[in-house]
């Protein structure tokens, strides 16, 4: 589960977030990805804040640092 795409920085509910714009054209696969990410809850995983099946994007908590920082 998981589609490829580009990630941009944005604002959602007055918070800085990461917005993953997917290249997925199959709405069922995108729905599965959103569902799986929403069900996961672990301190080492990034939380899903929202998304759109129509516009093919997922809103995620923004990590201010990279793995290299």
Q: How confident is the model at residue 2 (pLDDT cuts 50, 70, 90)?
A: low
pLDDT single digits (tens) 9-59: 999 999 999 999 988 778 888 888 889 888 988 888 888 999 998 899 999
Query: What pLDDT was estimated at residue 30?
Result: 86
Query: What pLDDT was estimated at residue 47?
Result: 87
- Taking Cα atoms as reference points, which of 60, 42, 40, 41 lies closest to residue 50? 60
Tell me whether strands 15-22 and 57-61 are parallel, antiparallel or unpaired.
Answer: antiparallel
pTM of structure: 0.78
State the Cα–Cα distance between residues 32 and 37, nearest whole angstrom. Answer: 9
Place of tokens 């990410």: 37
């Amino acid at each position: 589960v998981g589609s490829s795409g580009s990630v941009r920085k944005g604002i959602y509910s007055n918070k800085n977030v990461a917005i993953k714009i997917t290249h997925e054209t199959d709405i069922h696969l995108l729905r599965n990805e959103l569902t799986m990410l929403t069900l996961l809850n672990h301190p080492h995983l990034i939380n899903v804040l929202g998304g759109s099946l129509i516009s093919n994007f997922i809103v995620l908590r923004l990590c201010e640092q990279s793995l290299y920082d």
